[in-house]
Amino acid sequence: MHPNFFTRGSREDFARLVQDALSKAAVQSDGARVLSLARIFAFGGDGHTSLNVLQAGSAVLRMPIGLRWFDDGLWIVSIQPTLARFLGKRVKMVQAIDVEQAHQKLLPWVAYENDNWARVGTQSLLTLPEALEAAEIVKPGDTIRYTLEDGNTFETAAGPFTVVAGPQLARPKNPLYTRYNNFNYWFEYLADSRCYYIQYSRCVETATLPMLSFVQELFEFYRTNEARRAIFDLRLNPGGDSKVIQPLLLAFDEAVNAGIRIPLACIVSRRTYSSGILNAIDLKRRGAALIGEPMGGNPSGFGEVRTITLPNSRLSGSYSTRRFDVPGFPEPQVPVDVPVAFESRHYFEDLDPLLEAALKYTERQ
């Protein structure tokens, strides 16, 4: 059972929400009913208590377009081939509503703790016609119209999900953070900088490469290459088990105790969440500077997540069972030591200002 589901609304408000969903269910599409369930899960204001409307088996309709919030607005990152000329364009309006207003209207369907994580949710909902109808951004049956910053408009509707995606460059740079995203953790030695780059993209132990084996290989490599600094990249880490990284942290502790000084930095973003945030705090306590964007959740909050399967739809949802408080971090968000914006041009030009900032920071230490 959730330890305190009614942090943003009363039991009476929740009962009215459930009753409203029940009264509409008979005339709704399957997708609209899934969105009603997602709103019920999201009522508690806990990012861990949620229902993914795009999970396998969901009937929610989706348009062949991908949107993403950057620090400079909402941009098209994928789109159906016939509209490929609009790839990489900034969206200003959905139907007759400004995208910031649309973002606000969609928040009741997002399980979030701060606006950084909320935008990860609304960028998907802005491509779902049934979500746009539920938020009264469009009328039932409307073709969805997007208006771009340059004044162009286009219309699209739910259909076959075939898209072209950006960035598309004649000479791709393939920044480090985009590589091996199917790996939970990996490292690279940046010889020119004499720096370890350690990407930790999920707090999940890899069965074929346990963390202890990873640490052994990392430090064997260290003994022959004399790295002067280390950068941990947690920008893509949505969480998992916060204890998985402990052997790596203990190995760095032992190095420090042996008199080895290794300046540390930790890259974070709005997609760093849950145990990813806790591990960023672990690194900060060891002297690492947090570099990048404000993270997607709060240090203290709900967790120890369990899964529930809904009996009729067979969809899976998640819910928290415990409240956690992190000593020393009373603020709603963990402050970033070196704020770095990640804008659309960085994405579409294959640039990585966060890693550049981390390298400059550790070079000065």
- Distance in angstroms (rounded) separating the CA atoms of residues 50 and 38: 7
The end-to-end CA distance of the chain, in Å, is 47
User: How many other C-beta atoms are found inside a 10 Å radius of the C-beta of residue 241?
Assistant: 14
- What residue spans in the chain does CATH classification 3.90.226.10 cover? 176-297+333-364
Report whether CATH 2.30.42.10 matches the domain 61-166: yes
pLDDT band at 293 (very low <50, low <70, confident <90, very high): very high
**By C-alpha distance, which of 129, 142, 132 is closest to 105?**
132
Is the confidence at residue 168, as pLDDT, over 90?
Answer: no
Is the confidence at residue 328, as pLDDT, over 90?
Answer: no
Q: Which of 19-23, 113-117, 164-168 comes out lowest in average pLDDT?
A: 164-168
Q: What is the pLDDT of residues 114-147, one digit of tens each?
A: 999 999 999 999 999 999 999 999 998 889 999 9
Is the confidence at residue 226, as pLDDT, over 80?
Answer: no
- What residue spans in the chain does CATH classification 2.30.42.10 cover? 61-166
pLDDT value of position 167: 87
**By C-alpha distance, which of 196, 159, 192 is closest to 64?**
159
pLDDT value of position 332: 80
CATH code, 176-297+333-364? 3.90.226.10
Is the confidence at residue 325, as pLDDT, over 90?
Answer: no
pTM of the full structure = 0.94
Q: Which of 70-84, 151-165, 177-191 comes out lowest in average pLDDT?
A: 151-165
Q: What is the pLDDT of residues 85-105, one digit of tens each?
A: 999 999 999 999 999 999 999
- Distance in angstroms (rounded) separating the CA atoms of residues 336 and 306: 30
pLDDT value of position 227: 79
pLDDT value of position 98: 98
Is the confidence at residue 238, as pLDDT, over 80?
Answer: yes
- Distance in angstroms (rounded) separating the CA atoms of residues 240 and 184: 11
Is the confidence at residue 330, as pLDDT, over 80?
Answer: no
pLDDT band at 324 (very low <50, low <70, confident <90, very high): confident
Average predicted confidence (pLDDT) for the chain: 94
pLDDT value of position 365: 81
- Distance in angstroms (rounded) separating the CA atoms of residues 361 and 225: 21
